Amino acid sequence: MGTRGAFDVSLGKQPHPTAGPPADLPVAVTGRCEPSVAGDRRTLSIGGVVLPFPVQQAALSGYSDRPMRVMARRFGAPYTLCEVMLEQFVRSLRDRRRTRHFTFVADEDHPVGAQLMGDDPQGLAVAARKLVECGFDVIDLNFACPAKKKAARRCRGGLLLTQPDTAVEIIERVRDAIPADVPLTVKLRRGYDDSAQSEDRFWRIVEAAFDRGVAAITVHGRTVVQRYEGPSCWEALKRIKQRLPDHVMLGSGDLLDAESCLRMLRDTGVDGVSVARGAIGNPWIFRDLIALLQGRPRPAKPSVEEQADVMREHMALVIATYGVQRAVAEFRKHSVRYAERHPLGSEVVRAFARARTLEDWYAVLGRYYAVSRRWYVVSGSGR
């Protein structure tokens, strides 16, 4: 476990694993850190965490586990967040092999944030303190996720935007519970809905958050009732940032490639971008954005052989984290997203979806990603 403090984050470079299943399964997989790329760039400060580029990998429920975060870091993401965890779950965690990965933090992971969701201010305070003790550098509160119908009776996630008093109490309790040098951040949607009352409640929470020591907020451009439908309203993000010129705000929503990230930075004036779905099966998005921020051309799309190397590396991390028996099931949702950029996209997606064992998975990789075969990318395909 690393130590906390101010960070000057450097970029990682991914190794290239050999083909085929690893003969000697690793206990841990580590990357190599290399100096930051030189050139003009905009930095981003989240409390004492200073990032060389204004981008983070967002917390993604069911996706942003440690393997995904490590891959993002190796492709340049200067800061990542773990998948959202409920405060009751965190408080109940014991040091068991099956769940240890939720709170495991290695030296190469820093800086890394833990995102919490819940409706109990004191329970969230206890959970936040526990995560800081595990080594997380930032605590992020989720006031954004649309609640599923069966969970709507619990006022958590995006539903807290309808209960500003509870939201502010949560912020107060968590800020008081964690050390002063650990930044507290908040993820919100731009409102519960498009009503004037919803906007007023949003601003009550945001203004109180900064008054109580929140270091930064991330705002998603959809409302809670929109869930994931319709476009993210970047004009709303622009208006919010204009009202917060002296505070750190990141934008989120519809950031599916490096170009859209750059457009959001330029068009809305936000201080940084939080990449969510655009990073699933696409760690290259961080490399590409850094190039554009530095005024360089976007790197060429990864060849089929490069894709295979990265998928092997990601799978090695999954095996190290979950073990051989769980690896294919845990990685399936990532495999199908990687496969979408293959010239035979839908066919490869189906093949990975059918894989049940590690041998099946490597057979699909060998069949569709063989160096000896010639693959032609149709213009405009891939991500």
Taking a C-beta distance cutoff of 8 angstroms, is the pair 307, 345 a contact? Answer: no
In single-letter form, the type of residue at position 26 comes to P
33 labelled catalytic: no
Taking a C-beta distance cutoff of 8 angstroms, is the pair 192, 198 a contact? Answer: yes
**How, if at all, do strands 12-13 and 32-33 pair?**
antiparallel
Which CA distances in Å does 277 have to 59, 62, 64, 126, 210?
Answer: 10, 11, 10, 30, 28
Q: What is the dihedral of CA 146, 149, 155, 160, to 10 degrees?
A: 20
Catalytic annotation, pick one of 82, 134, 145, 233: 145
Taking a C-beta distance cutoff of 8 angstroms, is the pair 127, 93 a contact? Answer: no
In single-letter form, the type of residue at position 97 comes to R
Taking a C-beta distance cutoff of 8 angstroms, is the pair 299, 287 a contact? Answer: yes
Instruction: For 43-107, list the strands marked E by DSSP.
Output: 44-46, 49-51, 55-57, 80-81, 85-86
Q: Which positions are annotated as active-site residues?
A: 145
